[in-house]
Structures are given as C-alpha cells and as structure tokens.
Amino acid sequence: VVFLALLTYCTGIDGQSTWTQPPSSSVSLSETVTISCKTTQSTHKIGWYQQKGGQGPRFVHCDGCSSRGEGIPNRFTATRSGTTGSLTIINAQVEDEGDYYCASWYSAGNSWVFGGGTQLTVTGQPTVS
C-alpha cells in the first residue's frame, strides 16, 4: 500500500519525465519475454523492480549495473536504447510472475519516478497431479 502511494505520488509530477509501460504481458513457460518502458525525457539509469502479491517491491536490475538484486538470477537483464528501457527475462519460470515497475531518479525533483507497472503472467505452467 505504501509503495502504491509512493508510486502514485512520484509518477509524472511537476512536469518531470513520465514512464509508459504496457499494463500486462504474458510469456510461455521457458520462453523469453521483454518488458519495455518509455520515458518522455532522457534520464539516468533505468531500474526495474518486481512486486508480488502481499510483498514489497524488490530491486531486479538496472541498465549498466553489474549486479542484480538479492536472489535475482542472471536470467534477468536490463538494457536501454535512448529513452526506452527494457527488462528481458530468459527461460521464464512460474516464480517470475508478478508486477514489474521501471523507475529512475529525477534529480530536479529529488524523487523517484515510477512507471505504472506491467503485470507478467507465465502461461503453460506444469500441472500437479
């Protein structure tokens, strides 16, 4: 709840850059998916955060970062091209499902600016018999 309040507060205030993300994306089990995030202005590094139901957000990776968040496998890679940031997940697994938010530090406003989030669904999950 606190994160969502912060997200609402930090998205597009005072004429700063805003982020555009698709609201949802899906990928088949073991396949590759890329989630994109476009900004209205050039920015510093673009970070990605994962949030699962009932949990706080956790850092995944950022473009130009040498390390990933704690417990994040190297199947997750953040890149950028101009004003578009991308998070690519290879060999998608069931545990990768969740909401993914891009974010960047907005120095003029001394705040983080977050995208609206993309809900990732992994399809073709194995059935338990």
58 inside domain: yes
pLDDT at 7: 42
12 inside domain: no
100 inside domain: yes
pLDDT at 107: 72
57 inside domain: yes
2 inside domain: no
What does the pLDDT look like over 39-88, one tens digit per residue? 877 767 899 999 998 899 999 999 988 899 999 999 999 999 988 999 99
110 inside domain: yes
Question: Domain limits at 38?
Answer: 20-120
Here the CATH number for the domain that contains residue 57 is 2.60.40.10
Of 87, 92, 82, 91, nearest to 41 by C-alpha is 82
Q: Rounded to an integer, what distance in angstroms lies between the CA atom of residue 97 and that of residue 11? A: 23
Question: pLDDT band at residue 111, thresholds of 50, 70 and 90?
Answer: confident
Q: pTM for the full model?
A: 0.83
52 inside domain: yes
Q: Rounded to an integer, what distance in angstroms lies between the CA atom of residue 71 and that of residue 116? A: 24
Number of structural domains (the chain) is 1
Higher pLDDT, 125 or 123: 123
4 inside domain: no
Q: Rounded to an integer, what distance in angstroms lies between the CA atom of residue 41 and that of residue 55? A: 30
pLDDT greater than 50 at residue 14: no
Per-residue DSSP letter, 95:
G
